[in-house]
Chain A
Amino acid sequence: MLAFSSPDAFGQPLDAPRLVMTPPLLSARGLQRRYGAIVALKDVDLDVYPGEVLGIVGESGSGKSTLLRLLNLEEPADGGSYTLAVAEYAGRDLFGLDRFQKRQMRVRHIGIVYQHPHLGLRMGTTSGGNVADRLILAGERSFSRLRGAAREALNASEFPLERIDDLPRQLSGGMQQRVQLAKAIALRPALLLLDEPTSGLDVSVQARVLDTLKRLQRETRVTTVIVSHDLGVIRTLADRVIVMRRGRVVEVGLADQVLDDPQDAYTQQLVHAKL
């Protein structure tokens, strides 16, 4: 499978041997998740390569958010394995870690932005505090360093710094997402998970948040998994796409391929419904 088309290689022939030899940062096999009688995920395999943006599309209820919660180690899998190639636990199945180790992994190496800000933010804690929270969890105990890091991350998310001490509930939806993003990237995670990050926003606001995401990705090359039911968002950001339906992966491929020339009948419906 081709890994990703890096912008450096744009217009050049792909350097096949290098790509083939780059091991994935994220590797998941046979993911299962049930809620009572509902099968939310079934036999999902996933590889994400360093620096890549993987898009996940699929209709509502197809298991996209469930997949991200599993990847964020928020809830247990009913089956399957999951590895991230980061220092402490490289090669270890992350589902096998204890509660404490999972928390460490989440704090140090994974950032997440949810569609609903209240899932990712403490609504009664200032914006700066929400970002600082992550650094405190990682052991930072200097107020000035916390403050500095919060400003830096909020600035990188293009959040207006004069509102650093405002509560999320006093902010617009777009700004709330920027606080979530700042919190997610504050410790420079290896993996960034975005679950419908712009879906609740007005079109114009959505475009500006997308610009920020794009800029950040270009600057930091953080490995990203983005879920959206909006194929336009996926087209803008993703290098590669997987299509999910009823908890299964029905198609995988380069973004342009999948969106312009879908092979699977369901993907064809999805793409055409959009056009």
Chain B
Amino acid sequence: MNLSDLSTPTRDYSYAFLDAFAKRELRRRILKAIAIPGYQVPYASRELPIARGWGTGGLQVSLSLVGPQDTIKVIDQGDDQSVNAANLRRFIARMSGVATTFDTLAATVIQSRHRVPEEILSEGQILVLQVPDPEPLRRATPSMTIAREMHADADYAVMWLNLYEQIVRYGEFTGGASYPVLVHSRYVMSPSPIPRWDNPKLHQAAHLTLLSAGREKRLYAVPPYTDVRPLEFEDVFFKVESQYGRRDRMTGATHKFMDEIAHADGSSTFSLSDTGYQDKLVKRQSGEAVTVGATYYDDHGEFYHAGFLKS
């Protein structure tokens, strides 16, 4: 045996693109984020061969996590095959040699923009969410120094004042995507621009969620089995977007998050936003052997943590 047998063969690039020091720093930040659920940890965002704003935050986290045995899934607005998702998936796979999949159940790491899959994630899976703006207090104060002080003091009154104003002016909560949540009864967190429909999926979840903003250079985490509660009043409740009466045009599925497809004649139909899930339903209907997992919302629209969504 000689030395070359024991050392890694020379390559033109580091495994998974990032050098060892960058990965070590990212992993340390991730561990800190997991230790303080919902707290934004600053990190040194690295240059990548894609532009900031196209998921570099999520990409750095994914690259620092993957090993040869991993299987990665990348989605953009629920779609595995959008240009953006395909680019990121190919990049990660080329740089790390991991397997890729469209199947939520088969993935070990899922990088996503704007969606949490419909099938329930399980222990050991990691969801990496791309975040454009990590600061839920941005609208409350233009000063990030003051925002950090407010986080330190858990001074979130202004968020409830916003809710009060929404009810008074519009009769309901108007926050759409990025609806703020209180994590582990301590930090108010922006769950990235996922629809309100996906917001409850972070509560007491079996999987680990990592959220990372490449431009803002901050990452934060929701560890498995952590309380994540949308901000609401004791007597006026948070509500998810109603999917009532919507049927997937390909499979007839109901009570999942739907994209509306407008037609030239002014009518519209609906299509499952989670295309990986839709593919599996199509295959099952055509008789193929495929495992479709349990979903966060069942076929009657009931959320899997009974009683979590109040009405």
Contacts and interface: CB of A to CB of B under 8 A. Distances in A.
A103 B235 contact: no
Contacts of A126: 165, 168-169
Contacts of B167: 143
B156 to A, nearest CB: 9
A50 to B, nearest CB: 29
Contacts of A125: 161, 165
24 contacts: A99-B149, A99-B153, A100-B153, A103-B155, A125-B161, A125-B165, A129-B161, A129-B164, A132-B161, A132-B164, A133-B157, A133-B161, A136-B164, A141-B233, A141-B234, A142-B233, A142-B234, A143-B163, A143-B167, A143-B233, A143-B235, A143-B236, A144-B235, A165-B169
B225 interface: no
A265 to B, nearest CB: 46
A14 interface: no
A252 interface: no
Contacts of A141: 160, 233-234
Nearest to A164: B168
A97 interface: no
Interface string B134-162: 00000000000000010001010100110
Contacts of B155: 103
Contacts of B149: 99
B157 A129 contact: no
Interface in B26-72: none
Interface residues of A, number: 18
Interface of A is mostly: helix
A103 B233 CA distance: 23
Nearest to B236: A143
Interface residues of B, number: 16
A128 interface: yes
Interface string B160-181: 1101110111000000000000
A270 to B, nearest CB: 40
Given A136-B160, A136-B161, A137-B157, A129 B168 contact: yes
B51 to A, nearest CB: 35
A136 B156 CA distance: 9
A132 B155 CA distance: 15
A100 B155 CA distance: 9
Interface of B: 149, 153, 155, 157, 160-161, 163-165, 167-169, 233-236
Interface in A130-180: 132-133, 136-137, 141-144, 146, 165
B142 to A, nearest CB: 13
B153 A129 contact: no
Given A129-B164, A165-B168, A165-B169, A136 B157 contact: yes
B73 to A, nearest CB: 38
Nearest to B165: A129
Contacts of A143: 163-164, 167, 233-236
Given A103-B155, A142-B233, 17 more contacts: A99-B153, A100-B153, A126-B168, A129-B165, A136-B160, A136-B161, A136-B164, A141-B234, A142-B235, A143-B163, A143-B164, A143-B167, A143-B233, A143-B234, A143-B235, A146-B233, A165-B169
A66 B92 CA distance: 60
Interface of A: 99-100, 103, 122, 125-126, 128-129, 132-133, 136-137, 141-144, 146, 165
Contact of A146 (B153, B164, B169): B164
A128 B168 contact: yes
A129 B158 CA distance: 10
A245 B159 CA distance: 43
Contact of B153 (A103, A122, A142, A165): A103
B236 to A, nearest CB: 5
A128 B163 CA distance: 13
A132 B160 CA distance: 10
Contacts of B236: 143
A239 B161 CA distance: 38
A141 B160 CA distance: 8
A122 B153 CA distance: 21
Contacts of B234: 141-143
Contacts of A146: 164, 233
A106 to B, nearest CB: 12
A100 B151 CA distance: 12
In the A-B complex, the 9 residue pairs with the smallest Cβ-Cβ separation, listed nearest first, are: A143-B233, A142-B234, A136-B157, A137-B157, A143-B236, A136-B160, A142-B235, A141-B234, A129-B165
Contacts of A129: 161, 164-165, 168
A99 B146 CA distance: 13
A27 B153 CA distance: 28
Nearest to A126: B168
Contacts of B161: 122, 125, 129, 132-133, 136
A137 B164 CA distance: 13
Nearest to A139: B157
A21 B92 CA distance: 79
Contacts of A128: 164, 168
Contacts of A100: 153
